[in-house]
Each structure stands twice: as C-alpha cells, then as structure tokens.
Copies of this chain bind each other. A is one copy, B any other.
C-alpha cells in the first residue's frame, strides 16, 4: 500500500517525478465556498522556489501553477482541486552518471531495492521538488485557516552551530525579509556568513526550523493516535531531510521536574489559559488554546560539490563527481514547506473536530 495521500478530511494526493512532465496535487475534501485565487498559491510557491538568493540553488524553476479543477468563479466547488506545475528546467543528462550509481545518503539505493527500478532524473520521486505539491496544497489550507484567524509561521532558529537568541521577540512579518528567514538579525547575519563558507567548500549544512501557530482554537487533535502533535510530527518527518521533531519543551526540557514543567491553569478575562506554555499549546494530544510551537531538525542535504565514493547497482565501487545545482543549506526554502505541512494538519483537524460532539 503506497503512501502518497496525506490527511483524512482535508486530504491531498501528491504525484510527479522531478524530471517528469509535471508535479501536482489533488486536494479532496476542501469545503465548498472558499475563495481561492491562483496568485494565493503562486505566492507560496515563490517563497519555496530556488534562486531567491545566493544561498540557494541557482536552478531557474518557474514553478508556475495551474488550477485545473475544483474552483469555479473564484470559489471552491467542494470537488477535487487539482493544481499542477510543469517541470521546465529538467536536465536529464545531468543525471546519466547516477543511473546505476547509488549516491551517498540519497534514496537511489532504497528506491531501486524497493521498486526494482527507478527514475534517476533529479532523484525522481525522492526529489525535494515533490514538495511543490505540498506547498500548493498548503496554500489552500492556509486560506481555509485564515478564515478562522489561525496563523502559521516558520523560521530558521539554527544553522549548523549558529543558533538564534531564544529570548528575542519574533516579528512574524519580518521573517521573509532576510534570505535565511531567521527573525534574529544578528544570528541571521552569522548564518548567512556560515552558509556562504559552507557553499565555498562545496559542502552542505543542516539546522532547525521552528514553527509557531497562533490563534489555534481549543479542541483540535484526535486521541489516542491522531493527537495533534503526532500528526504534526508525522507531517514534518515526511519532509525531505528532516531527522527530528519536538514540541513544547521537547528534547530541551528533560532536566525539568514535573513541578517545574507543569503548566498551571488560570482564568483570564473569562478564558482559561496557562501561565507558561511548556506544553506547546497541546495537552493530551488536543490544542488548549495557547500558541502551538514545535521544532524540526534538518540534516545537511546529501548532494555536495565534492567527489564521493560509493557503489553502483552491480556492487562496484564508483566515484560520484560533484555535479548538479543544489542548495548548500535548504532551511530558508524549507520554512514555507514546514508552514504548508502544518497548515494541512491544522485544516484536517479543524474539519475533523466538527463532529467531535453533538
């Protein structure tokens, strides 16, 4: 049983190989009557595109989206919404050298073993180009959530050893203003510098993206398995290069005792809040009305601009030359992908919650 569908009520199916004709997504379950303009989707795709700065891949991908079905006179019909992006800049020749070779830490080996053969062009289905489908669908989810006032913002908090100051007040509308998408200006400068060094060495680097969800209503999440943070975790871990997820105090609060970590409830202007928010806005798997926040760890991308030793499908030792046009650090481009996946989970749980009680 294949795994290219995500979500239960707001459900997307992604398709497309990196160097095939197109990448696309079908959304089934978006309620009818939502106002959708093509530019709302394009704007999100543009935030993900390569070539936005010298920190990202110089590939020239137009990534122009077409809304093929499900929208009529500017409003969703309640029928499947198909969004397609043609693959323009595909250079199959660039990948002939890896037709039989297994690039280190890529999916070449596992795809070949699992499926018996594979499309080597740009990594085929395992390419991060597939995230176009997620960002396009996430743009629709964001429009749905915006009607409820729910806001989602992802930003870079760590690149390799460079970490942002945790005590800084995040100005969400400024995040996109610097090329590394870090709201701490000082740290941003150091990150940019660090990425440039890494790029010069032909190497790559990972880091952490944090995502904040504001105005999340109380009640989202479906225990005992589809807890809100469990679905967010799965969503994030399904993104290329992601190696870890935590929320609230996560891996960092393990030295706190229960008496320190527990979130005390108080009544504030008729609403029940917690004094602090170690829970990350989720208790028992259900949002409690406080801000939701979580962290996503990205490994350095596997493609580097140095020779690497490996084997091919005959078990022979081969040398992988430094080819292709890739990002030394994917985090700036990954922020909108994190937001998109979070939006898909939230939209799904927003709809799921509608039948929780009479």
Contact = CB atoms under 8 A, between A and B. Distances in A.
Given A218-B113, A250-B297, A5 B16 contact: no
Interface string A210-232: 00000000110111111101110
B105 A279 contact: yes
Contacts of A155: none
A328 B241 CA distance: 36
A310 interface: yes
A80 B29 contact: no
Contacts of A226: 2-3, 238
25 contacts: A2-B28, A3-B227, A4-B26, A16-B68, A17-B69, A20-B69, A20-B72, A32-B357, A102-B265, A104-B262, A105-B278, A110-B286, A110-B288, A113-B286, A125-B223, A204-B259, A206-B261, A230-B235, A233-B237, A234-B234, A245-B246, A257-B304, A258-B302, A262-B302, A262-B304
Interface of A: 1-6, 8-9, 11, 13-17, 20-24, 26, 28-29, 31-34, 66, 68-70, 72-73, 75, 77-82, 84, 102, 104-107, 109-111, 113-119, 124-126, 130, 147, 158, 160-161, 198, 201, 203-208, 218-219, 221-227, 229-231, 233-235, 237-238, 243-251, 253-259, 261-267, 270, 272, 274, 278-280, 283-288, 295, 297, 299-304, 306, 308-311, 315-317, 351-358
